[in-house]
């Protein structure tokens, strides 16, 4: 509900149950949803950083790592990856999200083609959604018209899964879709910046910043904010990095992301004085400590004598 902030809140609660023992806890769903909406790298880094300060979150992180290891239990994750598409299809409704991603990532080109045709032939939303998730990390090998249609869905999970699949495709229709998602305020607009990153043209830095600054939905803002940093990493433009980070701090709803923006501004020597003053009073203790440990030099201080 609140991006990485919501993940950490829920992870602490689940971690308390893990620590207490005796409770049957679903570890995978929370993680899979965060990975889908926030990105795998961002999710794991947030858990790792928060776990250093919070033993309950660390308990959750370690329990999740154990569950995701191939050797855990019956080796279900490895078994799923070895299935043919026809075998996977028979189990599709019961396969966990991240295992569908893993299957798609390791599938042969032939099986991936069968899965693409399976998506086109899918008869209901649940079957479409499961097939879409296969293409989270692999390029859809057939005509992507079906992805364009599903990305414009008013169902958030469907739209997110379809735009994730489209993020691997460079085509004018995908670029056009990104603008339509934002213009019509469809749920898939949360990934519009990612679509534009895959279909970049000069001038897009200003466009994606305008999208971010005009957005008022906290959940969409959070997703867009994470994609902003990735956009600049993929298409460097040094003259606008500081502006992007300042907007991320000012508009972003996630305290963890705001902390990251402040850190990067400090590293670049670009933290504005007024933002530094505001950060000194931030509710986030880590932000307060961050600016306190990086005080700028006082120009009025006497220079120490040599020797």
Contact predicate 222/257, CB 8 Å: yes
Indicate the burial class of 223 (C-beta count within 10 angstroms; 0-12, 13-18, 19 or more). buried
Mean residue pLDDT of the chain comes to: 86
Q: Is the pLDDT of residue 68 over 80?
A: no
Rounded to whole angstroms, the Cα distance separating 265 from 245 reads: 7
> Residue ranges per domain, the chain?
1-68
DSSP tally for the chain: helices H, then strands E = 19, 0
- Between 49-53, 148-152, 182-186, the lowest mean confidence (pLDDT) is in 49-53
pLDDT at 35 over 70: yes
- The DSSP symbol for 301 reads S
Phi-psi region of 214 (alpha: psi -120 to 50; beta: other; left: phi over 0): alpha
What's residue 22's pLDDT? 45
pLDDT higher at 304 or 176: 176
- For the chain, give the longest Cα–Cα distance: 80
Q: Per-residue pLDDT for 3 more than 70?
A: yes
| The pLDDT of residue 119 | 97
pLDDT-derived band at 299 (thresholds 50, 70, 90) equals low
DSSP state of 71: T
Task: Give the pLDDT band of residue 21 (cuts 50, 70, 90).
Answer: low
Token digits of residue 80: 């799923």
pLDDT > 70? residue 276: yes
Q: What is the pLDDT of residue 37?
A: 77
Nearest 5°: the CA angle 211, 216, 222 is: 75
């Amino acid at each position: 509900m609140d991006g990485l902030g919501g993940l950490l809140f829920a992870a602490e609660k689940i971690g308390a149950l893990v620590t207490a023992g005796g409770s049957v806890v679903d570890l995978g769903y929370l993680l899979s949803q965060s990975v889908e909406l926030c990105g795998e790298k961002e999710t794991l880094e947030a858990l790792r950083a928060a776990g250093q300060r919070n033993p309950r979150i660390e308990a959750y992180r370690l329990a999740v790592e154990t569950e995701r290891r191939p050797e855990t239990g019956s080796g279900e994750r490895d078994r799923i990856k070895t299935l043919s598409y026809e075998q996977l299809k028979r189990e599709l409704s019961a396969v966990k999200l991240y295992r569908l991603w893993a299957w798609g990532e390791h599938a042969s080109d032939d099986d991936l083609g069968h899965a693409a045709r399976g998506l086109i032939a899918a008869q209901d939303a649940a079957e479409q959604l499961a097939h879409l998730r296969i293409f989270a990390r692999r390029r859809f090998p057939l005509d992507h018209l079906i992805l364009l249609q599903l990305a414009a869905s008013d169902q958030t999970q469907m739209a997110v899964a379809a735009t994730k699949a489209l993020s691997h495709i460079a085509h004018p229709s995908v670029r056009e879709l990104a603008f339509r998602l934002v213009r019509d305020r469809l749920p898939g607009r949360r990934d519009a910046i990612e679509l534009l990153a895959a279909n970049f043209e000069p001038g897009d830095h200003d466009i994606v910043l305008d999208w971010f600054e005009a957005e008022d939905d906290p959940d969409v803002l959070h997703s867009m904010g994470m994609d902003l940093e990735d956009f600049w990493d993929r298409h460097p433009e040094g003259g606008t990095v500081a502006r992007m980070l300042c907007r991320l701090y000012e508009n972003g709803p996630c305290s963890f992301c705001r902390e990251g923006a402040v850190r990067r501004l400090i590293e670049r020597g670009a933290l504005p004085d007024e933002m530094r003053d505001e950060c000194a009073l931030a509710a986030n203790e880590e932000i307060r400590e961050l600016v306190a440990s990086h005080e700028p030099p006082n120009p009025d201080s006497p220079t120490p004598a040599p020797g």
